Structure 1
Amino acid sequence: MPRTALRVQVCVSVWKTTENSAMPHDSYGLQSRCLNHPTLAAASLLGLLVTAVFTVGLADPVFAQNRPTPVVVDKVIIQPFAQTMPVTGRFVATESGVVAARVAERVAKVVVRVGDRVKTGDTLASLSADRLGSARALSVAELRKAEAQMRREKANLAKMRQTYDRIVSLKGSAAFRKDRQEDSERDLEVARSAVGQAEAELLRAKANLDLSDIALRDAIIRAPYPGVVIACHTVSGNFVRVGDPIVTLLNDEDLEIEADVPAVRTLGLRPGTMVEVALQDGRKLAASVRVVVQEENSRTRTRGVRLHPNLPKSGFGIVGNQSVMVEIPIGGSRDVVTVHKDAIVISKGRPMAYVVIDGKAEIRPVLTGNAVGNRFEVVRGLKPGEIVVVRGNERLRPGQLVTPFGSG
């Protein structure tokens, strides 16, 4: 039987530079060649076969399982834990109240509205200053009159002293008279008294001028502290007396938490005790006890507790009287083993955790206890220092190779 060589015709398309191309706008032409060489044809078939096998291998789950999967891990730790009870509290401003008028006058203009934010010293309202200005001018005139009277009485005293000295100088001569010396002494005393009275009138005139200046300054009602205007109590044209409210101001940049805690639960609270506070939207922050008020409400058997919250500089959008939930410690602290909440996955109705051992993810049943912040107390199943998967554990399989990233 004659041997017949296997010949496979392979059609190959190649790009070839053509110097004398018939195409006017293209210097490259696509040409096809049909190869009849047996060796070249076999090599081409082999390449196609390898490519197909490689592609199938990538799609094979068994092949993909041998590659390490990147995961985020965290360490099982020991941390203190104390039992707490929730108590409703609220944010209160340390500076809040009515800004009142200090002089009786007509309101010229209220320059702020409800919701406006002001800084210390900003103008809130202005009172009419025409009467106050005239009163100051009168005080200036009285001061000048008192200064003139002072100069007159001093000149009169100098004159009386000069007369007395002249009479005393005649002592021992025939022109000296004892009665004239005595009269001169009395006149000198009267002049000194007049100077003292003039000094008092001068001080009074200066004080009246100071009061006029204060009244003029008080005609401009300014913010005593930074905050937000939450109420306006008057309008332009109204007459206000001393003490009448102008606006209500609340300093929302300096807030505390006030909570009424059962008296029996305040025995363990000390200044500086750290507690956890939960906002209505679920956000949490830390707060420290500033003071436990030394008075008990006889009806509710509670005591007021003031706490200082650790608010970020950017703020939490917190307002006055906003309610919060304060976790008050009710027992002694103890050390517990904890694991991050994201490490727990539910498999067949049971809590599990993937532990990274020698580069592999081993699944392990876990019994959890109380929540400790964003972690769970571990009653059984994990040991301190073990590394658990907290991200990517939802797609893992027991024994799968992993590449850990994170705090572990």
Structure 2
Amino acid sequence: MQQRSLIAPLFALSLVSTALLSACGTAEQGAQQQQQQAVEVGVVTLKTQPVPLRTELPGRTTAYRIAEVRPQVSGILLERHFEEGATVEAGQQLYQIDPATYDADVASGKAAVASAEASLKSTENTYKRYKNLLKDKAISQQEFDNAEATYLEAKAQQQVAQAQLKTAQINREFTEVNAPINGIIGRSNFTEGALVTASQAQPLAVIQQLDPIYVDINQSSKAFLRLKQEIEKGRVQANKNGNAEVDLRLEAGLRYSHKGELLFSEVGVNETTGTILLRARFPNPDGDLLPGMFVRAIVNEGTVPNGLLAPQQGIQRDVRGRPIALVVNGEGKVEQRQVETARAIGNQWLISSGLQDGDKLIVEGIQKVRPGAPVKAVEADLGNSQQGNGSPQQQ
């Protein structure tokens, strides 16, 4: 009887211990299952930083000055005084037209001037003599008037002869065809022995001044007006002339070593496309830029001191098209944020609101998670493509 009374408490204690062990095992299994359900996602920790704003626009180079060299007198080309493709200076002789007939015109003009001056001298002496005789009433008024008219006519003839001589001398000078500007001269369209005529349609050659050089850029009128206002308000970097600085990227992706400036005086609105043709001016001392090259002009618009950049792959769109982001909060769970983007900078978005410094933005495994789900955050290695500001883009 006494043994039975001892066995009952021991049996009850065994049951309680078994229940406690079973409960602990269930709790551990639940924790393990919950840990197993936490999906691993790649995140990027956002940090504020100074963000330079740039706009990249397509453009083409064009010569600073273009001069089509044409003859101003007619004749046979005797000589060419330049090498095709060489650099020429303003005033340098390029061609020589046969001056024989123009030399004859100059000689004839000089003879006409001499004849007119002799006639003027004779009539002037007669005029002066008749003027004195008229005072003494030795001649009539009519005779004096005739002498005066003859003198004035001879004086006019002398001036006409001088003007004709000046014209002949100018035409003689035009037989030497000179360069009107500094620049690089192209191929010659005419050779020695060719007959050329004054103001002909086809130029003898074309000279282009390439230092400095222009870059013509197309931009929407809306973006142009915004940029102009930002320059006036001081938000956009400007040089000493008050113009925005421009960098240049060449066809091969190379960065041009010289900075240019944006000129707002050279603009025109295209009524069909609504774009404005901007003109930037670049120094070109080494002749690296040639007319007609396709380039990318990068306009420096200023700097956001505390900008926040987020990789574009981490910004999604909801059913309404609004940008959203998934972040890992302090509890290790997914949190959805509605964000506002200011513009694209390379392959990143400049964030206006919705995200802040230190947020862990999910950029990998977004399709595997939903808001409120526990996740395991691992820093994603996006490489250099997400570092810095990337290539600027127009927005």
**3-state DSSP class of the match of 1:232?**
coil
Instruction: Quote the Cα distance in structure 1 between the aligned partners of 2:298 and 2:212.
Output: 22
For residues 99 and 108 of structure 1, do their structure 2 counterparts lie closer, same or farther at Cα, with a shift above 3 Å needed?
same
Q: Is 1:326–2:303 an aligned residue pair? A: no
For residues 369 and 212 of structure 1, do their structure 2 counterparts lie closer, same or farther at Cα, with a shift above 3 Å needed?
same
Does the aligned pair in 2 maintain the 1:269–1:289 contact within 8 Å? no
Cα displacement string for residues 83-134 of structure 1 (whole angstroms, at most 9, x for unaligned residues) = 42x3221221121131110111111122224212211111111100000000
Higher strand share goes to which structure?
Answer: 1
Q: Is 1:279–2:282 an aligned residue pair? A: no
**3-state DSSP class of the match of 1:89?**
strand
State the match for 1:141 in structure 2: 111
Instruction: Quote the Cα distance in structure 2 between the aligned partners of 1:113 and 1:316.
Output: 18
Cα displacement string for residues 253-279 of structure 1 (whole angstroms, at most 9, x for unaligned residues) = 231111122222211333601232212
Does the aligned pair in 2 maintain the 1:289–1:307 contact within 8 Å? yes
State the match for 1:204 in structure 2: 160
Does the aligned pair in 2 maintain the 1:266–1:292 contact within 8 Å? no
How many residue pairs align between the two structures? 258
State the match for 2:215 in structure 1: 257
How do residues 203-222 of structure 1 correspond to structure 2 at under 5 angstroms?
Answer: 203-222=159-178
Does the aligned pair in 2 maintain the 1:114–1:231 contact within 8 Å? yes
Instruction: Quote the Cα distance in structure 2 between the aligned partners of 1:273 and 1:254.
Output: 17
For residues 215 and 316 of structure 1, do their structure 2 counterparts lie closer, same or farther at Cα, with a shift above 3 Å needed?
closer
| Paired residue type of 1:327 | I
Aligned pair partner of 2:69 in 99, 124, 141:
99
State the match for 2:224 in structure 1: 266
For residues 334 and 152 of structure 1, do their structure 2 counterparts lie closer, same or farther at Cα, with a shift above 3 Å needed?
same
* Larger-Rg structure: 1
Moved over 4 A (4+): 77-80
Instruction: Quote the Cα distance in structure 1 between the aligned partners of 2:131 and 2:265.
Output: 71
State the match for 1:64 in structure 2: none
State the match for 2:102 in structure 1: 132
Cα displacement string for residues 146-185 of structure 1 (whole angstroms, at most 9, x for unaligned residues) = 1001001101112212322332xxxxxxxxxxxxx6x621
Aligned pair partner of 2:79 in 95, 105, 109:
109
How do residues 47-66 of structure 1 correspond to structure 2 at under 5 angstroms?
Answer: none
Does the aligned pair in 2 maintain the 1:164–1:188 contact within 8 Å? yes
State the match for 1:363 in structure 2: none
Deviation, structure 1 residue 337: 7.5
**Unmatched 5+ residue regions in structure 2?**
1-47, 229-241, 309-378
Identical pairs, percent: 16
Instruction: Quote the Cα distance in structure 1 between the aligned partners of 2:166 and 2:266.
Output: 42
Instruction: Quote the Cα distance in structure 1 between the aligned partners of 2:304 and 2:293.
Output: 32
Cα displacement string for residues 365-397 of structure 1 (whole angstroms, at most 9, x for unaligned residues) = xx8452389xxxxxxxxxxxxxxxxxxxxxxxx
Does the aligned pair in 2 maintain the 1:292–1:304 contact within 8 Å? no
